[in-house]
Amino acid sequence: MLKMDTVKLTILRGTLEEDNPLSLLRGNEHIWSKVFGLVDTWYEEHIDRKSVAFDLLEVLDSEERPRTFRSVLVSFPEPQGIHINMMPIKLFELDETVPANCQQYVDCIEICADETRPRKFNRVAYLTIHESVVPVGEAQRRPGLHIEQPGGIRDGGSAQPLEFGEYYWGRGWKEAGCNEFFEGIYMASNVSDSCTVWPVLINNPTEVSDRHGSIEHMRERLGPGRNLAAGELCWFTDRTPHEANPLKAPSDDPGAKFRARSFFRLVVGQISVWYSKHNTPNPLGVLPDAPISDEDKFSVCRQSKITSEIL
């Protein structure tokens, strides 16, 4: 069954409302052909299909010519029910800045640190670990197609407007054919097909995403994504579309109602704000290298603002 583009469908619904000016154009095939052509062009200009949007970390598998590589598969420790979000750590001082209950993830963090450029000694990274039991049919993490770069920033204290287009949540870029990752985000989980990433970047995301980065309305335009296998360590940017998928019952227990999932994420690039109500402080005293907001970012939207000082 053909699925209509959600943006076009919304426009067409407007023609059915008698008090909507669009109703005056109802039935005018020529005009709507032009309008939809402009819509398609506008959205396509926001999709970068050439730059590197994500990559899987690899290791050399054989020195023989031609040399071959295989994906890095990280091993997840036995879950302990850890749930931390965007906890600041020092990327190159892990023994001193990763709390004891998270030290079992240091090996995975070190893999990311070794790949990250530029190598700044005092670089602050942001660690997320989510170990939980999830009902089959539900996603553990944020569902829906989205990017991490926010469409707006909120702050609940003394504030200054953030310049348009300067919202970051890890940034990230990679040259085609180059094995170095500049800033960006790393993630992995222990459940196959529980996350999908798309091989495109979103240009000027504040023009097409909502304030939380949702781009669900662009799904039909992006083409197919790639499901990550268990243990695959993926690097991506804050403009790379991705989503968490509903979990399926394991093949060896098809009748299972719940499934355990462990999720790892490390943001190594610049962020525009650190939300104290949603993120986890580091008990060892490491502070975020970003302005701190006490605002609830999911509350009713108002003028986007951000603190002017790094605390």
Note the pLDDT of residue 70.
66
Residue type for position 121: F
Rounded to the nearest 10 degrees, the angle between the axes of helix 29-44 and helix 6-15 is: 150
Q: In the block, which residue shows the tokens 């091989």? A: 199
- Residue 287 CA to residue 29 CA, distance in Å, equals 58
Note the pLDDT of residue 15.
87
pTM of structure: 0.86
**Mean pLDDT, residues 7-18:** 84
**Mean pLDDT, residues 76-101:** 97
Note the pLDDT of residue 69.
59
**Mean pLDDT, residues 171-189:** 92
Is the pLDDT confidence value at 184 over 80? yes
Note the pLDDT of residue 26.
84
**Mean pLDDT, residues 137-158:** 77
Q: Predicted confidence band at 309 (pLDDT cuts at 50, 70, 90)?
A: very low
Note the pLDDT of residue 67.
54
Convert the pLDDT of each residue in 219-255 to its tens digit: 999 999 999 999 999 999 999 999 999 999 999 999 9
**Mean pLDDT, residues 97-116:** 97
Q: Omega before 250 cis (within 30°)?
A: no
Q: Predicted confidence band at 207 (pLDDT cuts at 50, 70, 90)?
A: confident
DSSP state of 206: G
Note the pLDDT of residue 176.
82
**Mean pLDDT, residues 258-274:** 97
Q: Are 287 and 143 in contact (CB under 8 A)?
A: no
Buried b (16+ CB within 10 A) or exposed e, 61-72: eeeeeeeeeeeb
